[in-house]
Structure 1
Amino acid sequence: MTMSLRARLFALCFLFAVPLAAFTHEQTLLEYADQCVKEIGEIPPFNCNDGTDIPITIDGKPPGPNESPTRCDKPSLLSPRAEAKGQCVPFSKILNLSRGNTQISAYCRRDVLREDKSQFYDLVVVVVHHSGNGKTCWFASKPPPLPQSQADVPASSGIVATRVPPPNERKPPSGQPSAVEFWATPAMVASSTADNPTCLKCHDAGPFIFSPYIGQVWDKVPTDPWGKYSSIGQAFSSYHLMTMSTPGNTCVGCHRIGSEQSCTAYLGLSVGKRNAPGGDQLASSYPLNHWMPTDNAMSNEQWDKANVASVEALLACCRDPAHKDANCAFTPMPSSSTNRALH
């Protein structure tokens, strides 16, 4: 055997010995954005200050002009299992940028107190979903830059969000940030930890989540509670969401219920079994701590009679990850290729 042939054979053996993942190209932001535009639709540039304020109240009243409460009646549940900065900070905003079947919800969050129309925010998140094919994409801004000196106050730092660039934009207007400067990579958005679950872990039943906080501006949020739902993009390909139900369950009359953060957080939060992180006494009392159904007009006793058995049945399914309970139906999230139930 010649040296050249041995070298070629060695190289071939080495190629097969290396895992295929080592040669997988990680999808860039622009590649992911291009895919989302092609399969769902364009995200236009927008100004966070054009959004609708998400109200903050304490005992039913708004805070004073320079007050930044740590607890409130309807805290943000962006961190559903632990108290976090910004859950009751005023002047976060929501925008509905939808058109036709392309549903786009943008959330501009403030973690520190600023003027209502300040150009600075601490997080911008966009969910883009197609109500026909069910495909969904997730975008989140990069963390804001750290203050350059101790003299910098938080109110004068953060993310400039008066022109949020489309995630697929190559050439922004002069003086404006480019998409790759503004948006985190899809791999960063898809990453998940116990303390900071990825978008899909919380949005486990559909692309848009109701809570008392976001429910205050629910008319500004697109909804698709029973439509197809799947996340596209290489970074999200490992997530395979399941919905769950039990026979005659009253909790699945208006929307699906997922088996991820719905089990670990939202079921308990929505039926008074857990207190909302950042919530005050009003938030932890009936009826605010029972926010399903959303139009709840029942007494606490009436609510318990109508719904407690269904809640307990679902929580039992949550404790059955092996899917052995015959009463629990776990169903792959409906998309163009999944429609069967697992028991």
Structure 2
Amino acid sequence: MPGLPWLTMGKNRITIHDVAAKAGVAISSVSRVLSGHRDVSEKMREKVEAAVAQLGYEPDHLAQSLRKGATNTIGFMIRDITNPLFSIVAQSAEHELRKAGYSIILINSHGDLDAEKENFALFKRRRIDGVIASLVSEDSPYVRNTINELGAPVVLLDREVTGLNASAVICDHAQGVREATADLIKNGYKRIAFVSGRKDVFISRNRIKGYEQALSNAKIKIDEDLIRLGKFGEQFAYEQTKDLFSGKKLPNALITGGIGASTGALHALKELKIKPGADIAFVALDEWPMFDLLSSDLSSVYRDPEEMGRQSARLMLDLIAEKAPSQAVVPTIYRPRSSSKALSHA
């Protein structure tokens, strides 16, 4: 009876013993060459490398990882994998980490706290060397204990958690939002609505801080009914935008926090036949080329996702090298376009 493939699959695997025999050297010599040890002669290196090439030998990285106590993998946990900004951040981080010999495991938490907790448990089982994470919430009960007990370095993306031994990449959202709100006020707008995600995360708190500072500087009373915080997704922003325009005192400007929120708000405005830049001023926090299909020339507050990825990778490598946790600040830039210009009926 012929052998089953899954039973015979590993029998012809080329091993380090085969390489040593082919090169006519000791196994320890092969090991030193493959690990890049400096105490190896050029002649020895050439013999081993020639044997490796002839045999097609591939090192068993899992076995090496178990011996070293490291897996050369970094866990990258994204709150919402459908958000294009996060895909750019992850790609940039992966590019930097790959140059240092690390690969990443990308995982999505779907904006769900239970899923996020399970993801951290998965990373712990996989014995990853570090985690870069965009947390769903900063004040959920398990966060500090779970991360501190992970046994691996952690870099947070746009999150602040007190009592946590972690580094963080923080964007200065307040600066960009303050400039955007001040520009709207200068152009004659006073009823400026703000729609964004959860208020228990740094990014929303920081954005609201800039928004309220600009209103305060202009001596405009803050109207809590114009501030709608809840979820970062399209549906929440869509519903809140519809609700904002169902009352008697309508907003004449709208700031939306994040790609999902901006998309949902723009869809709602389209259904309501309200045109950004003509019937209402509009500022999107974060940019996405697809916005041009919904409304052209949108004003925006920009944060560089590639820089966020580079900084998160740098902070991770610093932690792996046992440097102290630190913080990198990425600026935000207000980019005014026609959607925030002055309207005659503002």
TM over 0.5: no
Higher normalized helix content (fraction of residues): 2
Tell me the TM-score range normalised by the shorter chain: under 0.3
Structure 2 length-normalised TM: 0.22
Structure whose CA Rg is larger: 2
Q: TM-score, normalised by structure 1?
A: 0.22
Larger proportion of strand: 2
